[in-house]
C-alpha cells in the first residue's frame, strides 16, 4: 500500500505539535494552579499580619491597620474567616493548642485552609478560607492560561498543513513535468526553484535521461544501418533466385546455384552478427571462473581449418595456464570476431598469433597478425557499426569490431587496435582487470 508523503508528514507534524501543545498546556495549567494556591496562602498570611498588627512575610509594619476588626470577621466576597483566641470563642472546627503556621482543618461540612499567628501575649490569630473556594479560584486562574493554548492548537495544525503542502508543491510539479516528456526524445529537467533535497534526485534523473536518449539514438542508428545492410544482400538473393528459376538446363541451374549459396551464406553471417550485436547490448553478462588457456585452445582448434585453407600459421603464445573471472560467452565472442578479422585480412602464407598475458591487476589477450594493418586515423572509426575502411577487400559487414567493443564494455573491459612496430600488421588487444 502506497503512502502519501504529504499526508504522512502532515500527520506526523500535526501529532507532534498536538502532543507538545498538550504537554505545554498541562504544564502551564499545573504551574498556574499551584501558583494560584500559593498566592492564596500569601493572602491569608498578609491578612493575618494586618489583623494581628505584626509583620509577616512581605507585609511591612507600616501597612498594618491601626484598628483591628470585629470578632469572627467574615469577608462576604472572599469568604475569609478571622478568629482570635482565647479572647474570642473558639470555633468547633478549630483544634486546641493549634501551632502557628498553615493547617488544613475539617469542619464536618467541608475543609478549611488556615494560617495561625501566635502573639507574645499568648493570643492566636487564625485566618481561614474554605478549600472549595480556593480550588475554584485556582481553577479559574489556570483555565485562563489553558484556553489560549487550546485555541492556538487548531490554528497551528492548519498552518503546518499549509506549509507542508506548499513545500511539497515542487515535487508535484516535477511529476507533471516528467509526464509531459516525450517518450522517444526525453529531455533533461530544469532544477530551478527546486529544494536542495530534491536537486540531487533531479540530477540523477537527468543523467538517466541522457543515457536513455543515447540508447534510443544508438538503437535508431543501428536499426537504420541494419535495414540498409540487409537490403542489398536480400535484393541480390531475390535476383539470383529469379535467375535460377529461368535456367534452361541443369548445368546452367547448377552454375547459378553457386552465387545463390554464397549470397545466402553472407546473409546468414550478417544476420548472426546482428543478433550478436543486439545480444551484447542487452545488458550485463554473467561472470564466472574461466580457464583462459583452455578457451584459447578451443578457438585455435575451431579456426585452424580456415587458417590452413589460406596457408596462415595460426598459433598460441602463453607463459602459463591462466584462470580468470569473466563472462565466458562475452570473451569468446570478442576473441572470435578478432580472429575472424585477422584471418580474413591477412594474406596467404601470413601469421596470426593469439597471445595471453598476465598482469598484476588483470589479464590481456592479444591477437597479432602481419596483414596490411589500418591507418592510425582509422583506429577508432573501425569500431563503429557497419563502418568499413574504403577500398577494403572482402565482403565484411563492418560489425565484428563493433560487437567486440560492445561486449567488452558490458564486461568492464577495453579493446584497442595497435600498429606493430617496424613491421606490417596489427595487434588487437583486450584488457580486463581482475574481479570485474
CATH number at residue 225: 1.10.287
pLDDT score for 57: 37
In a 10 Å sphere around its CB, with 0-12 CB exposed, 13-18 middle and 19+ buried, how is residue 130 labelled?
A: middle
194 located within any domain:
no
**26-75 pLDDT per residue, tens:** 877 887 788 777 777 777 776 766 566 543 333 223 322 333 443 444 44
Clarify whether residues 22 and 145 are in a common domain: yes
Domain boundary among 259, 277, 295: 277
Clarify whether residues 289 and 271 are in a common domain: no
188 located within any domain:
no
C-alpha cell at 122: 499568648
Query: Is a pLDDT exceeding 60 seen at residue 303?
Result: yes
- Distance of alpha carbon 252 from its chain centroid, rounded? 70
Please give the average per-residue pLDDT across 113-119, as a whole number.
86
- 74 by DSSP, 3-state: which? strand
Q: Any bridge partners for residue 290, and if so which?
A: 324
Going by pLDDT thresholds of 50, 70 and 90, the confidence category of residue 352 is very high
* Full residue range of the structural domain in which residue 254 is found: 199-277
Any idea which residue has 481553577 for its cell?
A: 139
246 located within any domain:
yes
Clarify whether residues 273 and 306 are in a common domain: no
Clarify whether residues 15 and 143 are in a common domain: yes
341 located within any domain:
yes
Clarify whether residues 364 and 328 are in a common domain: yes
**379-434 pLDDT per residue, tens:** 777 777 666 666 566 565 667 777 788 888 878 889 998 888 878 889 999 999 87
Going by pLDDT thresholds of 50, 70 and 90, the confidence category of residue 298 is very high
Question: Each residue of 141-150: b (16+ CB within 10 Å) or e?
Answer: bbeebbeebe
* Mean pLDDT (the chain, rounded): 77
Clarify whether residues 23 and 148 are in a common domain: yes
Please give the average per-residue pLDDT across 274-283, as a whole number.
64
Clarify whether residues 143 and 216 are in a common domain: no
Clarify whether residues 81 and 54 are in a common domain: yes
Please give the average per-residue pLDDT across 6-35, as a whole number.
78
Q: Any bridge partners for residue 417, and if so which?
A: 428
**168-181 pLDDT per residue, tens:** 787 888 888 888 87
**321-351 pLDDT per residue, tens:** 888 888 888 888 889 888 988 898 899 999 9
CATH number at residue 381: 3.30.565.10
- 363 by DSSP, 3-state: which? strand
Query: Is a pLDDT exceeding 90 seen at residue 353?
Result: yes
Domain boundary among 242, 277, 312: 277
Higher pLDDT, 83 or 392: 83
Clarify whether residues 157 and 15 are in a common domain: yes
26 located within any domain:
yes
- Cα–Cα distance for residue pair 428/249, rounded to 1 Å: 49
Clarify whether residues 128 and 207 are in a common domain: no
DSSP category for residue 56: B
116 located within any domain:
yes
211 located within any domain:
yes
Residue 405 in contact with residue 348, Cβ under 8 Å? no
193 located within any domain:
no
Q: What global pTM score does this model have?
A: 0.48
Residue 138 in contact with residue 36, Cβ under 8 Å? yes
Clarify whether residues 345 and 373 are in a common domain: yes
Domain boundary among 228, 249, 277: 277
Clarify whether residues 97 and 216 are in a common domain: no
Number of domains the chain is built from:
3
Pairing of strands 101-106, 111-118: antiparallel
Amino acid at each position: 500500500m502506497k503512502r502519501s508523503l504529504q499526508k504522512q508528514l502532515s500527520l506526523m507534524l500535526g501529532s507532534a505539535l498536538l502532543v507538545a501543545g498538550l504537554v505545554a498546556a498541562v504544564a502551564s495549567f499545573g504551574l498556574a494552579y499551584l501558583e494560584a494556591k500559593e498566592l492564596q496562602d500569601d493572602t491569608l498570611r498578609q491578612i493575618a499580619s494586618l489583623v494581628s498588627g505584626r509583620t509577616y512575610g512581605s507585609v511591612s509594619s507600616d501597612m498594618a491597620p491601626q484598628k483591628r476588626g470585629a470578632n469572627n470577621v467574615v469577608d462576604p466576597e472572599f469568604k475569609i474567616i478571622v478568629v482570635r483566641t482565647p479572647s474570642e470563642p473558639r470555633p468547633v472546627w478549630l483544634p486546641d493548642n493549634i501551632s502557628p503556621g498553615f493547617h488544613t482543618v475539617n469542619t464536618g461540612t467541608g475543609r478549611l485552609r488556615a494560617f495561625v499567628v501566635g502573639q507574645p501575649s499568648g493570643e492566636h490569630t487564625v485566618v481561614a478560607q474554605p478549600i472549595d473556594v480556593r480550588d475554584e479560584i485556582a481553577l479559574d486562574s489556570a483555565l485562563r492560561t489553558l484556553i489560549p493554548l487550546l485555541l492556538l492548537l487548531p490554528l497551528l495544525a492548519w498552518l503546518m498543513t499549509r506549509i507542508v503542502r506548499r513545500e511539497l508543491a515542487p515535487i508535484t510539479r516535477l511529476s507533471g513535468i516528467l509526464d509531459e516528456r516525450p517518450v522517444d526524445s526525453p529531455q533533461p529537467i530544469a532544477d530551478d526553484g527546486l529544494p536542495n533535497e530534491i536537486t540531487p534526485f533531479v540530477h540523477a534523473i537527468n543523467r538517466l535521461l541522457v543515457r536513455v536518449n543515447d540508447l534510443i539514438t544508438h538503437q535508431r542508428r543501428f536499426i537504420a544501418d541494419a535495414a540498409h545492410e540487409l537490403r542489398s544482400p536480400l535484393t541480390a538473393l531475390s535476383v539470383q533466385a529469379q535467375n535460377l528459376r529461368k535456367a534452361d538446363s541443369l548445368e546452367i541451374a547448377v552454375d547459378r546455384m553457386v552465387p545463390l549459396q554464397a549470397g545466402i551464406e553472407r546473409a546468414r553471417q550478417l544476420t548472426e552478427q546482428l543478433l550478436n550485436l543486439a545480444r551484447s547490448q542487452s545488458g550485463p553478462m554473467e561472470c564466472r571462473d574461466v580457464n583462459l588457456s583452455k578457451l584459447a585452445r578451443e578457438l585455435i582448434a575451431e579456426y585452424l581449418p580456415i587458417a590452413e585453407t589460406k596457408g596462415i600459421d595460426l598459433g598460441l603464445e602463453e607463459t602459463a595456464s591462466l584462470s580468470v573471472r569473466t563472462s565466458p560467452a562475452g570473451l569468446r565472442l570478442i576473441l572470435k570476431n578478432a580472429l575472424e578479422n585477422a584471418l580474413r585480412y591477412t594474406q596467404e602464407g601470413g601469421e596470426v598469433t593469439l597471445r595471453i598475458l598476465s598482469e598484476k591487476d588483470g589479464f590481456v589477450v592479444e591477437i597479432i597478425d602481419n596483414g596490411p594493418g589500418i591507418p592510425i586515423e582509422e583506429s577508432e572509426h573501425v569500431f563503429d557499426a557497419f563502418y568499413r575502411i574504403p577500398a577494403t577487400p572482402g565482403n565484411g559487414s563492418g560489425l565484428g569490431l563493433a560487437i567486440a567493443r560492445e561486449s567488452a564494455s558490458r564486461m568492464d573491459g577495453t579493446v584497442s587496435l595497435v600498429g606493430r612496430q617496424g613491421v606490417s600488421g596489427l595487434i588487437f588487444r583486450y584488457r580486463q582487470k581482475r574481479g570485474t
